[in-house]
Structure 1
Amino acid sequence: MANRRASITDLAKALNLSASTVSRALADHNDVSEATKERVRALAKELNYQPNQLAAALRRGRSKTLGVLVPHITGNFFPHVVHGIATEASKSGYNVLICQSDEDVQQEKKNIDLFMNAQVEGILVSLANTTQDFAHFDAVKDQRLPLVFFDRIIEGFQGPNVSAVVLNDYLGAYQAVSHLIEQGCTRIAIFSGPLHVNINKNRYQGYVDALTAHGLPLRPEYVSHHADINLKSGTQAMRKLLRMAQRPDAVFASNDLAIVGAMQVAKEQGLRVPDDIALVGFSNEAFTELTEPTLTSVDQRSEQMGRTAVRLLLKLLNRPATASPLKPVVLEPKLIVRDSSVRLARKERN
């Protein structure tokens, strides 16, 4: 017993009582004598007995647990979303069970099964970038388990128990590219992730529409799509761009890691940032304030997204099954302008 958690059964055996009597004694029921209660409490304290809150909740038909599934817990964005989720869930008396898919749809399916077998009261999920078959989410919807997508969502996936919270990724990209144009950039490249993922599709469209609105052509040779947009893909894409006869004078990436890769290559080749090439990322990772120069990026309202996702899920928990679907919540992005993209002010100072 010393190597494991003491149970009600252990207490009952040691005291020669029934498990139900021990349980009622711990709950201070009137049908158990004070003497018996004292014996039970003394042994419980001696053995450091702790009640199994999950088992008790399940007996009441409530697990008070939410399942949270993210693609990964590296970087700045998803840890901050999870922090927002955990903080908001705790305020309402819920625990969270956190899993990561590692951008693998098969692992994502296993985690959804785990949540359902664990009898979570709701699921919050951001899709893996390899997910294109959504049958495992159909199963969640069919069981009427509250389901809230955040950041990476299934567009058009609806139901009385389904909702979503997203950033206006289109607007964030549009603002970022417009800022580069306002700084005098005319040949702007983009590093994007796979377009079947909503955030990449919307950021790419924001890039395209910003060019069009400012009378600039879309140059296919300046567009790079990657299965996994990260430091390595950003490095590779930048090297390819800089081999062109007419290289770009700016790069916008839908991920901060990719733009840091681009910055490293630019410096290796003796280019000045932002004078020779201006750079803007997306996510506002913590390291964007530590690079040299500091990195302009779009803030994704990560913690606010997590809190909002939990509030939506709790609304779903308390709505009748016949209620109409809750509309997705769209958060507004914020462009954080730093030194990697500001050209005009530098010229004015010189």
Structure 2
Amino acid sequence: MQTRRASLTDLATALQLSPSTVSRALADHKDVSEATKLRVRQLAAELHYQPNQLAASLRRGRTHTIGVLVPHITGHFFPQVLDGIAAEASKSGFSVMIFQSNENAAQEKKNIELLMNSQVEGILVSLANTTTDFSHFELARQHNVPLVFFDRVLDNFKGDNVSAVILDDYQGAYQVVSHLIEQGCTRIAHLTGPRQLNIHRNRHQGYRDALTAHGIAINEEYIAQCEMSQQGGAQAIAEMLKLPQRPDAVFGSNDLTAAGAMQVIKAHGLRVPHDVAVAGFSNEAFATLTEPNLTSVDQGCETMGISAVRLLQKILNPNPDRLAQPRNVILKPRLIVRESSQRR
């Protein structure tokens, strides 16, 4: 059975001292005699006493803790973002509490409430793909809890204590589709996710604008909103391969859908990229393990995490010498061309 942790009161009772005297002794206060300090320290060591840092922080009005809420911690993207967050937070003396919503809006709301009750100094959050009610974020804003959204963000959600770090998803998608067109592809399918999320909405718009800019008509039959998974991509492309004119390229809004599409394309006896070129988005670790290797867009994961912490620090410690401090950071995408899309 786990024993109860020794408290300041336990020390005071055993030594027949007041809790305030014990506290001052542990803090090496000059008003406490050296003999008393020695007695207190010896007993504290015997009982393995550890001060309650959270309570002490609350008395000072600071907890030095950042809350982080992500949709999941699988794959490559979010773990890498979390690495950046943890490293930058540690440099500033902050601890990090991490929660995941599992792409569930109700869990996301519950986690926000838990983080607020834990007295975190700010929250870094990436939205669940099922979130349509944003009242829990409004509650955090009203309670002056700084919010920094990253990757999946709320459009038009502003305030002095709200910031965002995003990738230029539109430009990333535009680059991918332009690359596929340069390879001679004209019937480019797009596997997209839920449009309420900025990332899929912007990637889809980049896809459409790239086609238009290159004089290629948009065929709605080549656009499928599907689950952002390997199975979702596989099911979507299987239907498109039944069309009288099948696509000659596929752009997945993430790498999982692109990988699923690639498997089905090959299962139909078609060659990648010669018959159907394939590209994804996110540059997951498995992109170099597929056969052929998958063309994708790198999102600068760790940079996104570092930038999110730095934005939070600017909210918590505003610089009075600057009239207007940057509230948003837009990262540049990087297209990584691999074998799955190279036809020339």
Partner of 1:108: 108
Q: Answer whether contact 2:295 2:341 (CA < 8 A) is retained.
A: yes
Identity value in percent: 65
Partner of 2:120: 120
Q: Relative to structure 2, which stretch is displaced further, 202-211 or 109-118?
A: 109-118
Q: Distance in 2 between matches of 1:325 and 1:128?
A: 28
Q: Answer whether contact 1:162 1:325 (CA < 8 A) is retained.
A: no
Q: Answer whether contact 1:153 1:164 (CA < 8 A) is retained.
A: yes
Q: Answer whether contact 1:162 1:326 (CA < 8 A) is retained.
A: no
- Cα deviation for residue 324 of structure 1 reads 5.7
Q: 1:263 to 1:3 in 2, by over 3 A?
A: same
Q: Distance in 1 between matches of 2:308 and 2:95?
A: 14
Structure 2 counterparts to residues 319-330 of structure 1, below 5 A: 319=318, 326-330=326-330
- Cα deviation for residue 293 of structure 1 reads 0.9
Q: Which secondary structure state, in structure 2, belongs to the residue aligned with residue 79 of structure 1?
A: helix
Residue 336 of structure 2 is aligned to residue 336 of structure 1: yes
- TM value normalised by structure 2: 0.96
Q: Distance in 2 between matches of 1:49 and 1:20?
A: 16
Partner of 1:196: 196
Which letter does structure 1 place at the counterpart of 2:316?
L
Partner of 1:184: 184
Residue 143 of structure 2 is aligned to residue 143 of structure 1: yes
Residue 9 of structure 2 is aligned to residue 6 of structure 1: no
Q: Distance in 2 between matches of 1:325 and 1:107?
A: 33
- Cα deviation for residue 45 of structure 1 reads 1.7
Q: Which secondary structure state, in structure 2, belongs to the residue aligned with residue 97 of structure 1?
A: strand
Residue 270 of structure 2 is aligned to residue 265 of structure 1: no
Q: Answer whether contact 1:149 1:164 (CA < 8 A) is retained.
A: yes
Q: Distance in 1 between matches of 2:101 and 2:254?
A: 19
C-alpha offsets along residues 239-295 of structure 1, whole Å, 9 cap, x if unaligned? 111122211011001111111111111222222111111110000011111111111
Q: Answer whether contact 1:163 1:325 (CA < 8 A) is retained.
A: no
Q: Distance in 1 between matches of 2:237 and 2:9?
A: 65
Q: Which runs of 5+ in 1 are unaligned?
A: 345-350
Q: Relative to structure 2, which stretch is displaced further, 51-60 or 182-191?
A: 51-60
Q: Distance in 1 between matches of 2:343 and 2:328?
A: 38
Which letter does structure 2 place at the counterpart of 1:219?
N
Partner of 2:277: 278
Q: Relative to structure 2, which stretch is displaced further, 61-70 or 13-22?
A: 13-22
Q: Relative to structure 2, which stretch is displaced further, 12-21 or 131-140?
A: 12-21
Which letter does structure 1 place at the counterpart of 2:216?
L
Q: Relative to structure 2, which stretch is displaced further, 135-144 or 164-173?
A: 135-144
Q: Relative to structure 2, which stretch is displaced further, 272-281 or 135-144?
A: 135-144
Q: Relative to structure 2, which stretch is displaced further, 172-181 or 268-277?
A: 268-277
Q: Relative to structure 2, which stretch is displaced further, 335-344 or 324-333?
A: 324-333
Which letter does structure 2 place at the counterpart of 1:19?
P
Q: Which runs of 5+ in 2 are unaligned?
A: none
Q: Answer whether contact 1:192 1:224 (CA < 8 A) is retained.
A: yes
Q: Distance in 1 between matches of 2:192 and 2:325?
A: 31
Partner of 1:241: 240
C-alpha offsets along residues 216-258 of structure 1, whole Å, 9 cap, x if unaligned? 11111110112x3111101111211112221101100111111
Q: Which secondary structure state, in structure 2, belongs to the residue aligned with residue 330 of structure 1?
A: strand
Which letter does structure 1 place at the counterpart of 2:238?
R
Q: Distance in 1 between matches of 2:223 and 2:326?
A: 36
Structure 2 counterparts to residues 1-350 of structure 1, below 5 A: 3-226=3-226, 228-319=227-318, 326-344=326-344
C-alpha offsets along residues 172-202 of structure 1, whole Å, 9 cap, x if unaligned? 0000010111111111000000111111000
C-alpha offsets along residues 85-125 of structure 1, whole Å, 9 cap, x if unaligned? 11111111111111111111111111111111111111111
Q: Which secondary structure state, in structure 2, belongs to the residue aligned with residue 282 of structure 1?
A: coil
Q: Relative to structure 2, which stretch is displaced further, 180-189 or 236-245?
A: 236-245
In the comparison of the two structures, how many residue pairs are matched? 343
Q: Answer whether contact 2:311 2:327 (CA < 8 A) is retained.
A: no
Q: Which secondary structure state, in structure 2, belongs to the residue aligned with residue 304 of structure 1?
A: helix
Q: Relative to structure 2, which stretch is displaced further, 228-237 or 204-213?
A: 228-237
C-alpha offsets along residues 316-346 of structure 1, whole Å, 9 cap, x if unaligned? 112389x7674311000000111111110xx
Q: Answer whether contact 1:159 1:325 (CA < 8 A) is retained.
A: no
Partner of 1:348: none
Q: Distance in 1 between matches of 2:4 and 2:264?
A: 55
User: What's the C-alpha RMSD, in Å, of the aligned pairs?
Assistant: 1.7
Q: Distance in 1 between matches of 2:286 and 2:43?
A: 53
- Cα deviation for residue 34 of structure 1 reads 1.0
Q: Answer whether contact 2:162 2:327 (CA < 8 A) is retained.
A: no
C-alpha offsets along residues 137-179 of structure 1, whole Å, 9 cap, x if unaligned? 1111112221111111111111111110100000000000101
Q: Distance in 2 between matches of 1:45 and 1:219?
A: 73
Q: Answer whether contact 1:161 1:325 (CA < 8 A) is retained.
A: no
Which letter does structure 2 place at the counterpart of 1:182?
E
Q: Distance in 2 between matches of 1:4 and 1:341?
A: 61
